[in-house]
Amino acid sequence: MTRGVLGAAMLVLLNLVDGVFTHVFLQAGVAEELNPLMRLAYESGPGWFFVCKVLAVGTSAVILQRHAARLVLARRALAGGLALYAGVCVMHLCLLARWVSGGA
């Protein structure tokens, strides 16, 4: 598996982890969706929310992966997306820790 494929797969995985955490926190009423487009999708139903997340990030990841071998910008965009979603997942873990300790 090439680095580009691995990066794209990790990006999609982190996006799904973000989606699951977001769904759980929204259902529990301890958070709100900050992305206006994803908020609109979620208001249409959790299924639409996940479909939109997977399509948007999955399509982007595939496009970036296909160009990562020859374009520095594509590699940097994949790395940036990974860093962004890793940070979001860390934020979710912090919120989870606060929530289970009674502080959310």
Cα–Cα distance between 92 and 104 in angstroms, integer? Answer: 12
Nearest to 88 by CA among 47, 53, 44: 53
* pLDDT at residue 21 in the model: 96
Does the pLDDT of residue 103 top 80, yes or no?
Answer: no
Per-residue tokens: 103: 């502080």
Strands (E), the chain: none
Question: Does residue 1 surpass a pLDDT of 80?
Answer: no
Predicted local confidence at residue 3, as pLDDT = 72
Per-residue pLDDT, averaged over 24-31, amounts to: 93
How many other CB atoms are there within 10 angstroms of residue 22's CB atom?
A: 23
Whether residue 76 contacts residue 6, with contact meaning beta carbons closer than 8 Å, is answered with no
Given a cut of 70, whether residue 96 has pLDDT beyond it is: yes
Give the per-residue pLDDT at 102: 85
pLDDT grade for 4, boundaries at 50, 70 and 90: confident
Read off the pLDDT of residues 69-90 as tens digits, 9 standing for 90 and up.
Answer: 899 999 999 999 999 999 999 9
Give Cα separations from 82 to 36, 55, 72, 77, 78 (angstroms).
Answer: 21, 17, 15, 8, 6
